[in-house]
Amino acid sequence: MLSAILVTRLKQLKNKIKILVKTKINNARVWKRVREEHYQFCCLCENINTQLGSMVLLSFFTNVFLIVVNAASVFKITNNIFKPLGFHLTNASVVLKTLGVSFYAAGFYEEQSKIRTYVLSIPVSSYNLEICRLTDQVLYIEVAISGKRFFTVRKKAILTIAGIVATYQLVLKQLNTQIIPNFNVGTNLNKTSH
């Protein structure tokens, strides 16, 4: 919920910058207000990362752990038809929750990238000291949710995690199809020898 509100605020700032760039306003006082507003938002984001970074890290770790554990139990054989159904519903809810939270948090980085694009598109002839400062601020201060600086939540990170889980599932499936037939053959041989 917090990230949705903050992404909306960042979109408002992006739209303000977009209008200023398109109308070619180079009034230093206007750009100073925009720069200060952006800096306040950067400070707020840094404060959120400081205060909630541990929780973000723990939440991501727990969600990925649950997804991987659920992926490992896909291959258990059961005769009960409701167990797989419950498993798939539980796994789907964990995956959807993780994706939903991740995409909202990734919105910070996406909107900051759009702001960066607009600021860098300002013609050099319109530059003043405040636009120069805003450009430095946009280029060198990262606005993104992070898990204690171990990772920043971006769409690229979400896709990386999805790729790791998919690879893990494929490896487990391959191991499962190779181990179970060999185990059954060995078990049958032991039964016939007695």
Average pLDDT, integer, range 16-43: 93
Backbone angles phi, psi at 70, to 5 degrees: -65, -35
pLDDT of the residue at 186 = 45
Tell me the average pLDDT of the chain.
81
pLDDT of the residue at 177 = 65
**Higher-confidence position of 150 and 34:** 34
What are 37-56's pLDDT values in tens digits? 999 999 998 998 899 889 88
Whole-angstrom Cα distance, residue 95 to residue 81? Answer: 22
Average pLDDT, integer, range 132-156: 87
pLDDT of the residue at 165 = 77
Q: Is the pTM of this model over 0.85?
A: no
**Residues 30/20, Cβ–Cβ less than 8 Å:** yes
β partners of residue 146: 152
